[in-house]
Structure 1
Amino acid sequence: MSDGTDSPKTLFNTLRGKKQDQTPVWLMRQAGRYLPEYRELRAQKGGFLELCYDAEAASEVTIQPIKRFGFDGAILFSDILIVPHAMGQKLWFETGEGPRLAPRLVDAALSSLEAAPEHFEAIYATVRSVASQLDDKTTFMGFAGSPWTVATYMVHGQGSKDQGVARRYAYGDEAAFSELISAIIDNTVTYLLGQIDAGVDAVQLFDSWAGSLSPAQFEKWVVAPNAEIIARIKAVHPDLPIIGFPKGAGAKLAAYANETGADAIGLDETVDPQWAHDTLPADLPLQGNLDPLALIAGGQALEKSVKHILQVFEDRPHIFNLGHGILPDTPIEHVEKLLTLVRQ
């Protein structure tokens, strides 16, 4: 692992707080359904989960957007629900409806789950494969879901609009929910350390449902668990960059940035870039935050948004990205235009 001083990886250098002459760029969910080569491979392999656990196929998917667009970072093709699957919940995907987990922990005890660590091993095989194929200019990022977001799926057995089942459970049986969060923390640390040992350069923690919590609950179930994960990883790999992405955090981003120890903060599309620049620490690398719908719209909407984000963050370490994942109906030519706008 380089300390970033002379690294040819501009994204890695940015994560280490070194502003680059050219803003590095990658996109969340850049490996996925908007790419025809992905859809072709998915049709050959069958279901989404089967694709995730096929190291050869998953590594090919991870590298597809690098080959097509030359992004500065490759993000591991996987899913945040690998952790509960490895913890012993059954995991499957319903067509058109998303993931399902069983048993739901609102109905069953955590102790009833039987660990299945082989699911982690399948992902590590993908990491090793990708790491052996990327060039020395591309930063390779692993990831995991943050404990609160993962817990919402484990408790309810699926996603929801307001995470109401998990929120009620956390209020109603704080001891049981704390036990679940602790178990997710332990497994996430194991999982991320395994990814790092297999060859990733950096990791991102996705808290997709952080926006549904009150300030006090945000502190308890988002800030504290992420801080523990980051501290435990840093104890082993002090120089490895960690990106925190608490989607929907809004003004609570300041507490997240100051208390978790994350090396960089991802901003969703609802965050005013100027507010983030003025409020968050001046030397803290920021990532984001183009609206995925502006990318779909293209034209002047895309150009105006890209220009504004670049101007606001021109004096700090910044990684250009979307405010959330790229959408399946995003035109390829709009991604190409985005890269031209950022790199010119």
Structure 2
Amino acid sequence: MLVQVLRGERVGPAPVWFMRQAGRYLPEYRELRKKASSFLEFCYTPDLAVEATLQPMRRYAFDASIVFSDILVVPHALGQDTWFVEGEGPRLEPLSDPSGLSMKGFDAHLTPVYETISRLREALPPEKALLGFCGAPWTLATYMVAGKGGGEQFPARKAAARDPEAFQAIIDLLVEACSRHLVAQARAGADALQIFDSWASALDEDGFSRWSIQAIGEIVNKVRAETNVPIIGFPRGAGAGYSRFVAETGVDAVSLDWSVPMDFARELQQRVCVQGNLDPARLVAGGPQLDAAVDRICDGLGEGPFVFNLGHGISLETPPEHVTRVIRRVKERTAR
């Protein structure tokens, strides 16, 4: 069902999945996480990653799962020191010279991710879609240059403005790496792929054109040359730039953050499948306001190709029962 919608069909009821639907808001995940000494070990251990991916599928009536992994496995596989600090997030050795990075050993390093996907495709019912993903080159580069997230990603913006050709070399390497990673996930069994440009909002107009749209468009072309699975693009916080993103990258679907106005979302839906865009804070809060927000999205977008999702990842604070409530309401509201 999800694949049909991503290809432009209207299906009722609308398919539902959530970004970060496998994670710390679930008590069973927190217990599972104790079995790995580090977050990267967790991602690279298929037994654990498979179980983490399946946990929300057992608990909820989601129509799709997304493989449990992380966008930063790509720079890690390229040879950049990467680790996670509990309660603080990712850390990388700040990148000053990309010549130390290499595609040599890249595929072998990420073999556990592809094994996880293959095992998941066997474990999931045929009607449940499985998504693979990667971070977009710009977003990955922001972490690689700064060594962490935050601060509106000023170090990467400064590096790109100061020496765009040197920064282009990083982006070019990431285009190749991300394309390879996505193709391998599709070959392992992923039914669809999502590209997360989580820091697109940090770019000015020219930067958005060069570092986000152009790079993701190249990835789309490379992946399409090898496989025909649908591709979702998520340039979070792109604002009016969503329109150009859809027109120029060639993605099959666009995931919207919660700031996108409904009228604008409907305009985009005339050209492409739209995914989104409930504010994760409303999911945490619950109550009548959550119901109203769900209804507004379903009523506004339910007549076209539409996947119900959040406007970004699910929050740690989310009560699990609120997820059940949203899925049930979406199915009722968008049933034909």
Match of 2:245 among 256, 263, 287: 256
How much has 1:11 moved relative to structure 2? Answer: 1.0
Residue 321 of structure 2 corresponds to 333
Residue 245 of structure 1 corresponds to 234
How much has 1:273 moved relative to structure 2? Answer: 2.1
Q: Deviations over 1:219-242 (max 9, x none)?
A: 0100000000001111122x3100
Separation of aligned partners in 2, 1:75 and 1:36: 19
Residue 284 of structure 1 corresponds to 272
**Is the partner of 1:163 in helix, strand or coil?**
helix
Q: Is the 8 A contact 2:67 2:117 kept in 1?
A: yes
- Structure 1 segment 59-78 matched on structure 2, within 5 A: 59-78=50-69
**Is the partner of 2:229 in helix, strand or coil?**
coil
How much has 1:283 moved relative to structure 2? Answer: 4.2
How much has 1:95 moved relative to structure 2? Answer: 1.8
Q: Is the 8 A contact 2:61 2:327 kept in 1?
A: no
CA RMSD of aligned residues (A): 1.0
Q: Is the 8 A contact 1:188 1:229 kept in 2?
A: yes
Q: Is the 8 A contact 2:283 2:290 kept in 1?
A: yes
Match of 1:158 among 148, 151, 162: 148
Separation of aligned partners in 2, 1:45 and 1:191: 24
Are 2:2 and 1:11 equivalent residues in the alignment? yes
Q: Is the 8 A contact 1:26 1:320 kept in 2?
A: yes
Q: Is the 8 A contact 1:127 1:198 kept in 2?
A: yes
- Structure 1 segment 158-177 matched on structure 2, within 5 A: 158-177=148-167
Match of 2:221 among 228, 231, 239: 231
| Count of aligned pairs | 330
How much has 1:281 moved relative to structure 2? Answer: 5.0
TM-score, length of structure 2 as denominator length: 0.96
Residue 88 of structure 1 corresponds to 79
Separation of aligned partners in 1, 2:57 and 2:269: 31
Which range moves more in the overlay, 54-63 or 110-119?
110-119
Q: Is the 8 A contact 1:283 1:317 kept in 2?
A: no
**Is the partner of 1:151 in helix, strand or coil?**
helix
Q: Deviations over 1:279-304 (max 9, x none)?
A: x2514110000000000111111000
Residue 136 of structure 2 corresponds to 146
Residue 269 of structure 1 corresponds to 258
TM-score, length of structure 1 as denominator length: 0.94
How much has 1:254 moved relative to structure 2? Answer: 0.4
- Structure 1 segment 21-170 matched on structure 2, within 5 A: 21-102=12-93, 104-105=94-95, 108-114=96-102, 115-117=104-106, 118-170=108-160
Identical-pair percentage: 45
Q: Deviations over 1:27-50 (max 9, x none)?
A: 000000011110000012232111
Q: Is the 8 A contact 2:277 2:309 kept in 1?
A: yes
Q: Is the 8 A contact 2:49 2:68 kept in 1?
A: yes
* Equivalent residue letter for 1:89: Q
Q: Is the 8 A contact 1:202 1:242 kept in 2?
A: yes
* Equivalent residue letter for 1:224: Q
Q: Against the structure 1 CA distance between its residues 73 and 38, is the aligned structure 2 distance closer, same or farther, given a 3 Å change threshold? A: same
Q: Is the 8 A contact 2:67 2:132 kept in 1?
A: yes
Match of 1:316 among 304, 320, 329: 304
Q: Deviations over 1:164-207 (max 9, x none)?
A: 00000001011110000000000111111111111100000000
Separation of aligned partners in 2, 1:77 and 1:227: 25
Q: Is the 8 A contact 1:284 1:316 kept in 2?
A: no
How much has 1:70 moved relative to structure 2? Answer: 2.3
Separation of aligned partners in 2, 1:33 and 1:119: 26
